[in-house]
Amino acid sequence: MSVILGIDIGGSGIKGAPVDTLSGKLVAERHRIPTPEGAQPDAVKDVVVELVQHFGHAGPVGITFPGIVQHGHTLSAANVDKDWIGLDADALFTEATGRDVTVINDADAAGLAEAKFGAGAGVSGEVLLLTFGTGIGSALIYNGVLVPNTEFGHLWLKGDKHAETWASDRAREHDDLNWKQWAKRASTYLQYLEGLFSPDLFIIGGGISKKADKWQPHIQTTRTKLVPATLQNEAGIVGAAMMADQRAQGQGS
């Protein structure tokens, strides 16, 4: 058993748990600490240190971040403090915790976890996970290998429709859409992605994955199978631990 601590940085809470990366199971109960107001790097760093100490973890740590992550540097900051932009987050957390830390985009982490242990387990070829929430996160997995930082939520549809602001769950609430109306928008978006990438499987995550019975019957894709995510709130933690484990074994960047 290879146990890695996974930590998921979210807009309202920072959650962590040790993960058995061979089975994808949490080996202790998740611990959650509220995200500091403003989510400034030093404040988030202190919470990460607290989580490492809470679990008494001495090995590698994987951490998700809600933005673009390239070679350990955070390059965007849509819902956190702008000081994250251009920051060497790997180095920040590694120095603070005294552990070898690997930072990964949050949707990418969820995609890795779902493809290996969740709704995409056993599916070969191209798996595309989309998280519908405040925005639309995306993760593209091919035969178990992640293509990082895809950001498909920022695609434009029909010239003037920005996918994230038109088809996200926040857009559903803002425009007061019922589930059938929202599913029509989501179907347009998914069909556009089909034309670009021809995935073998869509996995739909985010908060709406818990309400699949309300929208799934109304979704229309051209040819691609679609399933709701199954790991839900554990996906980011598991995926972060998986990436840290790959790096520890010399397989990651």
Judge whether 12 and 23 are in contact, CB under 8 Å. Answer: no
Kindly list the domain boundaries of the chain, sorted by start residue.
Answer: 3-105+242-248, 119-230
In sequence order, what are the residues at sequence separation of 6 or more whose Cβ sits closer than 8 angstroms to the Cβ of residue 178?
none
What are the structure tokens assigned to 157, written together?
């549809």
Give domain 119-230's CATH number out of 3.20.20.70, 3.30.160.250, 3.40.50.150, 3.30.420.40: 3.30.420.40
Helix H, strand E, coil C: the string for 193-212 is HHHHHCCCEEEEECHHHHHH
Q: What is the mean pLDDT of each run of 10 residues along the chain (253 residues)?
A: 92 95 97 96 98 96 96 91 97 98 97 97 96 93 94 89 93 97 97 96 93 95 94 94 92 59
Judge whether 16 and 31 are in contact, CB under 8 Å. Answer: yes
Judge whether 134 and 10 are in contact, CB under 8 Å. Answer: no
3-105+242-248 shares its CATH topology with 119-230: yes
CATH architecture of 3-105+242-248: 2-Layer Sandwich (3.30)
Using alpha carbons only, give the angle 205, 5, 233 rounded to the nearest 5 degrees: 20
- DSSP conformational letter for 10: -
- DSSP conformational letter for 36: P
Alpha-carbon distance 12 to 25, whole Å? 24
At 146 the pLDDT is 94
At 213 the pLDDT is 95
Using alpha carbons only, give the angle 156, 227, 160 rounded to the nearest 5 degrees: 10
pTM of the model: 0.93
